[in-house]
Amino acid sequence: DAGVTQSPTHLIKTRGQHVTLRCSPISGHKSVSWYQQVLGQGPQFIFQYYEKEERGRGNFPDRFSARQFPNYSSELNVNALLLGDSALYLCASSMVVALNNEQFFGPGTRLTVL
Amino acid sequence: KQEVTQIPAALSVPEGENLVLNCSFTDSAIYNLQWFRQDPGKGLTSLLLIQSSQREQTSGRLNASLDKSSGRSTLYIAASQPGDSATYLCCGSARQLTFGSGTQLTVLP
């Protein structure tokens, strides 16, 4: 079975632009979460979606938004990019919304903002 | 607010050594604690998941323990190999998943 997939693998943008990152969960998983990992730090929680509804939000500005589609795939959108948004963006899926369920991570999207 | 701390930040050992990575968390009301491995520039690979009702989990040369009362978890790696070189992250789930900053492990041949 395919694991969590993310696209694109790498992305270079300039300040002020917007970006859309995509994630496909493991087949049968209904929960998708997004994380930002800045170099040298652990991942920081951005959003969790389950059954197309937002179930959790981390401490990120409103420039960050996400949505989940009927097939449980998800998009993360970031507007008005800042240099500090440069990071590895990770997507994780799990079968249910409960946080005691094992999380499976994708390979990430490396975003560079110039 | 949950805080997760990992010590040491970096560790270098010769091949064959047994080693212990430490993780501490401030909120004992966690649902579970998960250990991950991350290779440079890559995503996270789940190693072990310990539910809050469990004390330890084992997989091959890896053993993870959880002590909720003291807010600590350890990852024990037996007979380390150069292929174990990576960053190891622990993550506690309470109201949301909170990661430590990781321990960067280098196993020297």
Q: Which residues of B touch A106 (CB under 8 A)?
A: 43
Per-residue pLDDT for chain A (114 aa), expressed as one digit of tens each? 679 999 999 999 999 999 999 999 999 999 999 999 998 899 999 999 998 899 889 999 999 999 999 999 999 999 999 999 999 999 999 987 766 678 899 999 999 999
**B20-55 pLDDT, tens per residue?**
999 999 988 888 899 999 998 889 999 999 988 899
- Residues B65/B73, Cβ–Cβ less than 8 Å: yes
Amino acid present at A52: K
Distance from CA of B1 to the nearest CA of A (A): 12
CB contact under 8 A, B41 and A44: no
Q: Which residues of B touch A24 (CB under 8 A)?
A: none
Write the residue in A56, A99, A106 that is nearest to B43 by C-beta: A106
Write the residue in B89, B96, B98 that is nearest to A56 by C-beta: B96
- Residues A42/B35, Cβ–Cβ less than 8 Å: no
**B66-105 pLDDT, tens per residue?**
999 999 999 999 999 999 999 999 999 877 789 999 999 9
Helix or strand or coil: residue B35? Answer: strand
Give the pLDDT confidence score for residue A1 in this predicted structure: 60
